[in-house]
Amino acid sequence: MKKFQVSMTYSNTTPESREQGNFSETGFVWENQTYNTIELIDLINSFGYYELSDHGGKSISFYGDWFTQDYTIGEDCQECLHVDAKSRRDIENLLLILRQKQSA
């Protein structure tokens, strides 16, 4: 079974940083966790995602709908899954499986 290295990052945006076109804070929620194909698909599906950024090589990012807002201070936080594989073929196979599961 294929193995993938997966990290989750976060990006916070405040009203001030938004004016500057930047994030107020970014970092890792966790990094370099190993997942097999089934575990990774379950992880992606459990979080949901609305946007995919295919870097054209051996990595891909999933921007999820696990977006939170703190209305009291006007801060937004978004988390993103970053997936690294050993080959482009592994990424393509992962995307194929995800598409098949979505259409089922």
Residues with Cβ within 8 Å of 73's Cβ and at least 6 positions away in sequence, in order, are 14
Does pTM surpass 0.85? no
Tell me the CA distances in angstroms from 100 to 11, 64, 65, one per residue in order.
Answer: 30, 19, 20
Measured distance CA(83)–CA(36) in Å, rounded: 11
What are the residue boundaries of the structural domains of the chain, listed by start?
A: 3-103
Higher-pLDDT residue of 75, 66: 75
DSSP lists the bridge partners of residue 70 as: 75
H/E stretch holding 21: none
Residue 48 confidence (pLDDT) above 80: no
Residue 50 confidence (pLDDT) above 70: no
β-strand 68-70 against 51-54: which pairing, if any? unpaired
Q: Confirm if 77 and 15 have CB atoms less than 8 A apart.
A: no
